Amino acid sequence: MANPVKLQNRLSSDVAEGNVATSVMQASSVKHAARIRSCRGRGAGSWLQAIPSAPKFVLKFSEFRVAAFLRLGIPLPYSQIVTKCDCSRSFDEHGYHLLTCKFGGGPVWQHNTIVSTRAKCLDGVNIPHQVELRNRYTDSDNRLDITTYDPTGHLTKDLDISLTHPHSCDTVQSAAKISGYAAELREKCKMTKYGQQQSIAGSDTTCIPLVVEHFGFWGPMTEDYLDKISKISKDANGKNSETADFRDRWRKQLSVVVQSCNSRVIFGKLSKLSKCNFDDFLYDKYVQHFVH
């Protein structure tokens, strides 16, 4: 009898799915269930597997601590130094408000940093592109994050990158039941938005929303895009890159940058609101949880 194809892979996948289902069932709240489902996304935990062989794969110790707390759902201990945001809202213990509050520009900075990382990834595989190109649509002044070109120079794809958080009140109930719900919902909203806009005359444009949840879950359209360009990408010598290696590198690089940005947004907000060193508090709690 022939060997079943990818049997070990399928068995491991079933075991992992069973573990997720058990963890979700035992979760103490919908927020925890939504976090567990988001953390199981392909590549969401790639920052844990990244070998720090280059700066793009490195998380500082303080960034790693925040990333570990967020992934494991351990309450961040900032209530000891500050309780209210400068927008006057109260903080939640899992960092949702810190990551999504627009006061101070954290989400915009995080978005721009991810766009820049995506652009560097495209540079690395010689895909021509332009960042923040204006006037792509006749009825909108939107600047698309990245526009990529085919080898003949004609416009091909507009990439719209965005972040979303499964703990948002619009998504948390469904995100606790469906992995990646927040990312998929944002993808649909973006597709509706761009479907209603007309591209400039003569251009053949497709817009692809690349959405990531703060816990690291990339939406299905991102995975699909990653698959497609990994097959056509070429290295500096014009040779096709190894598809699996390429995907793995991108996942790790993007996973690291999302987690690094999460922690820097949190540190940035807290250092603005208090004179204390938040990492000292975090370090003590980290030692309590993981060392003792």
> Which residues are at the interface with Zn ion (CB under 5 A)?
85, 87, 89, 101, 103
**Is 183 strand, coil or helix?**
helix
Reference 252, options 218, 224, 286; nearest CA is 218
**Is 56 strand, coil or helix?**
helix
| Amino acid, res. 191 | M
Pick 11 or 87: Cβ nearer Zn ion: 87
State how beta strands 129-133 and 144-149 pair. antiparallel
Token pair of 53 as six digits: 């062989």
Pick 78 or 225: Cβ nearer Zn ion: 78
Least distance CB 12 / Zn ion (angstroms):
41
Pick 90 or 192: Cβ nearer Zn ion: 90
Least distance CB 269 / Zn ion (angstroms):
8
Pick 74 or 85: Cβ nearer Zn ion: 85
Reference 228, options 157, 129, 151; nearest CA is 157
Q: What is the dihedral of CA 220, 226, 229, 233, to 10 degrees?
A: -170
| Amino acid, res. 257 | V
Which residue in this structure is represented by tokens 């703060």? Answer: 214
Pick 89 or 289: Cβ nearer Zn ion: 89
Which residue in this structure is represented by tokens 């097959």? Answer: 231
Pick 89 or 143: Cβ nearer Zn ion: 89
Pick 111 or 188: Cβ nearer Zn ion: 111
Least distance CB 84 / Zn ion (angstroms):
8
Least distance CB 42 / Zn ion (angstroms):
31
CB 139 within 8 A of CB 197: yes
Least distance CB 250 / Zn ion (angstroms):
32
H/E run at residue 157? strand 155-164
User: Beta-carbon neighbour count of residue 267 at 10 Å?
Assistant: 18
CB 55 within 8 A of CB 260: no
Least distance CB 197 / Zn ion (angstroms):
31
Least distance CB 91 / Zn ion (angstroms):
8
